[in-house]
Structure 1
Amino acid sequence: MKIQGKMFIWLSIFILAMAILYGLWSKEPAGTTALFLAFGLSIMIGYYLAFTARRVDAMAQDDKEADVADEAGEVGFFSPHSWQPLSLAIGGAFAFLSVALGWWLLYFSLPLVLIGIWGWVFEYYRGENQNQ
């Protein structure tokens, strides 16, 4: 976490310099204010990361000899052969298409979306994937 803290602190210094230069050169208040707010946000994040890096153990990104796989954890479980995302995607596509073509298309897309959500949530409670 030390390297992230340093990166955000250096980024905040750069943003501060750009905010001052932009403010003096353009005399435009909205962009100057946005840059100063971005400086404040990045200095807060950098300070937090640098402050908490002292209290946590060294992580893999702090070791120059570390591998990418040293910090890798468990990825999780994903359904290998589920058809439910396809139904959800088609229903979602029709729902967004209804904004352009007409709201009547939402009546046909809503059942597809609900079937996709229902099937995805209860996929492992019925059929061949049911947990014993």
Structure 2
Amino acid sequence: MKIQGWLFIWLSVFILIMAGVYGVWSKEPAGTTALVLAFGLSLMIGFYLAFTAKRVDAMAQDNKQADVADEAGELGFFAPHSWQPLSLAIGGAFAFLAVAMGWWLLFFSLPLILVGLFGWVFEFYRGENRTQ
């Protein structure tokens, strides 16, 4: 986290310099104000990350000899084969097509979306996983 903190602090210094250059060169207050606000936001994030880096253990990105996979964890469980995303995608495509063709197409897309959504959420609550 130390590296991220320093990156944001140096980014805020760069943004402040660019805000000065932009303000003098363009004499436009809206862009200069936006850059000064971006400087403040970047500085707040940088100080937060630098402040919390002192309170947490060293992470893999703080070690120069670390590999990319050192901080990698489990990403989660994904269904190996599921037809529910297809139903959800077709229903979503019909819903977006309803904006262009006519709102009557929503009557066909909403059931497909609901079947896909509920089927995907409750996919593993069938059969042996079902509670009585």
Q: Identify the TM-score tier after normalising by the shorter chain.
A: over 0.9
| Further displaced range: 38-47 or 97-106 | 97-106
Q: Is 1:19 matched up with 2:29? A: no
Q: Is 1:95 matched up with 2:100? A: no
Task: Give the count of matched residue pairs.
Answer: 130
Overall identity of the aligned pairs, in % = 81
Q: 1:3 corresponds to which letter in structure 2? A: I
CA offset digits 1:54-74 (Å, max 9, x no partner): 110000000000011110111
* Aligned mates of 2:98, 2:50 — CA distance in 1: 48
Q: Is 1:58 matched up with 2:58? A: yes
* Aligned mates of 2:31, 2:100 — CA distance in 1: 34
Relative to the length of structure 1, the TM-score reads 0.94
* Aligned mates of 1:100, 1:35 — CA distance in 2: 38
Contiguous gaps of at least 5 residues in structure 1: none
The DSSP-based 3-state class of the residue aligned with 1:125 is coil
The DSSP-based 3-state class of the residue aligned with 1:58 is coil
* Aligned mates of 1:91, 1:30 — CA distance in 2: 43
Aligned twin of 1:131: 129
Aligned twin of 2:47: 47
Runs of 4+ in structure 1 displaced over 3 angstroms?
none
* Aligned mates of 2:29, 2:105 — CA distance in 1: 45
Aligned twin of 2:108: 108
* Aligned mates of 1:18, 1:89 — CA distance in 2: 44
Relative to the length of structure 2, the TM-score reads 0.94
Contiguous gaps of at least 5 residues in structure 2: none
* Aligned mates of 1:16, 1:7 — CA distance in 2: 14
| Further displaced range: 39-48 or 117-126 | 117-126
